Amino acid sequence: MNIKIAIVDDTLSEYENLKNYISKYFKNSQDVVTISYFSDGKEIVAKYKGDFDIILMDIDMPIMDGMTAAFKIREIDKEVVIVFITNLSTYAIKGYEVNALSYLLKPLNYFIFSEQMNKIVERLKKNIKQSILVTTSTSTDKVLIKDILYIESDGHYVEIVTSKEKYFTNGPLKKYEQNFSDTFAKCNNNYLVNLSNVASVKGDLVLLSKCDYKLKISRQKKKVFLESLMKHIGGN
């Protein structure tokens, strides 16, 4: 598993300490870990693209405090694991408002850190393959696979459609078909449908839940599509 970790702390010695703890924890692991350092909450918010798995964040920082940064990050990324590591115990309750996994007090010893990392890695392994990063011309967003209704081919590009957003990004559609082969199926050459979000099939139309979208099923794809749908329903 590739794990991307951000450390946000205005004290360089604290960063070095956490970095050493991380190296020690993953020393005998098969996981590949990448660590990025930010010296203030404002710095990580300005550069944030939803591409971290874990954020270890101080709260008391001079320009933008960690709690404010966490609220802004949650507007972009609902899934990243946030852990506050700080000497400000008064913020412990407020951490729940940003769905922080935990709140650890400085000075932090290695045993407490390793116990917390056990929980984090367990959560990451459960969440693996549950979201994808989608890069458009204006942003990079983490999109939950369960929220995708369908993916539409548009030449060398695709449009990823959820009930709330549409993302126009690089294709081809075949790439997504291969990656999502267990939960998605083509209803025609241009549409890859999330089988979990199919409300019903009426004649040659697929009706999707959470919206009024109706997609045409081609004669060539209908048999395989219905077989995939039945298999998916049976598996759930």
Same domain, 89 and 161: no
Same domain, 22 and 89: yes
pLDDT digits (tens, 9 = 90+) for 94-125: 555 677 778 888 899 999 999 999 999 988 87
Residue 209 has a pLDDT of 84
Residues 6+ positions from 53 with CB-CB distance below 8 Å: 3, 4, 5, 80, 81, 124
| Chosen domain end from 95, 128, 161 | 128
Residues 6+ positions from 120 with CB-CB distance below 8 Å: 54, 81, 83, 101
What DSSP state is assigned to residue 83? E
Same domain, 105 and 208: no
What is the residue type of 202? K
pLDDT digits (tens, 9 = 90+) for 179-200: 888 789 999 999 999 999 999 9
| Number of domains into which the chain is organized | 2
pLDDT digits (tens, 9 = 90+) for 35-68: 999 999 999 999 898 889 999 999 999 999 999 9
Same domain, 27 and 136: no
| Residue 6 to residues 74, 77, 79, Cα–Cα distance (Å) | 15, 14, 14
What DSSP state is assigned to residue 98? G
Same domain, 120 and 18: yes
Residue 201 has a pLDDT of 94
Same domain, 101 and 162: no
Determine the structural domain holding residue 17 and report its residue range: 2-128
Start-to-end Cα distance in the chain: 26
Same domain, 79 and 145: no
CATH number at residue 38: 3.40.50.2300
Same domain, 34 and 116: yes
Same domain, 106 and 193: no
CATH number at residue 153: 2.40.50.1020
Same domain, 124 and 153: no
Reported confidence tier of residue 215, pLDDT bands at 50, 70, 90: very high
| Chosen domain end from 103, 128, 153 | 128
pTM of the model: 0.62
Same domain, 22 and 122: yes
Same domain, 118 and 143: no
Residue 230, Cβ neighbours under 10 Å: how many? 11
Contact yes or no for 187/217 (Cβ under 8 A):
yes
